[in-house]
Amino acid sequence: MSQPARIAPPSSSPSRHPSRGFTLIELMICVAVIGVLSSVAYPAFSSTMASTRRSDALLALMKVQLLQERFRSEHPSYAELSQLGMGSAPPSRHYDIAILNPSSDGYVLHAAATGSQQRDTRCRHLRLTVEGLNVRYASGATEATDNSAALNDRCWRL
């Protein structure tokens, strides 16, 4: 004789139907790991961005210096920015450029950080002074540009 088929009730056993997805603890561990990694990576990233933007300012200052020498070869004194055909801000707009005290002997170029670049506290102001054949580089957090020689070299990448 044949036995009747047994119908088993549905089981909610986890071994029979493995759950899909993550537990809350696993998600919290992932969030913690991402938090630690981002707290380490963000300062390095923002430092690199500040350095890159500073390079734009250095390039703009060197361009003005070349334009000044070209202008001076044809005129009795150095020029203002307007005479050189430049605006006060390089294309990146992270620094404002100014020429201070142009004369027949020299001039001072000053770059002041603007916008988010002002967070670059050690190199917020860059100053290039040309007096005759002497060129001096200075940098600082304020317009006094009073960084030490080591910090100054770091700002100017000398």
Q: Give the span between the Cα atoms of 43 and 71, in whole angstroms.
A: 42
CA 71, distance to chain mean position in Å, is 32
Q: Specify if 29 maps to a domain.
A: no
Q: Specify if 20 maps to a domain.
A: no
Q: Give the span between the Cα atoms of 19 and 134, in whole angstroms.
A: 75
DSSP the chain: -PPPPP-PPPP--TTTS---S--HHHHHHHHHHHHHHHHHHHHHHHHHHHHHHHHHHHHHHHHHHHHHHHHHTTSSS---HHHHT--SS-TT-SEEEEEES--SSEEEEEEEE-GGGGG-GGGSEEEEEEETTEEEEEEESSTT----HHHHHHHHT-
Rounded average pLDDT per 10-residue block, the chain, 158 residues: 64 61 90 92 86 88 92 92 80 87 92 89 91 90 86 82
Which residue range(s) make up the domain with 41?
Answer: 37-156
Q: Specify if 19 maps to a domain.
A: no
Q: Specify if 3 maps to a domain.
A: no
pTM over cut 0.85: no
Identify the CA nearest to 68 among candidates 23, 103, 26.
103
CB atoms within 10 A of CB 117: 21
Q: Specify if 22 maps to a domain.
A: no
What local confidence, expressed as pLDDT, does residue 14 receive? Answer: 55
Q: How many domains does the chain have?
A: 1
The rounded radius of gyration (Å) of the Cα atoms in the chain is: 31
Q: Specify if 23 maps to a domain.
A: no
The residue type found at 99 is I
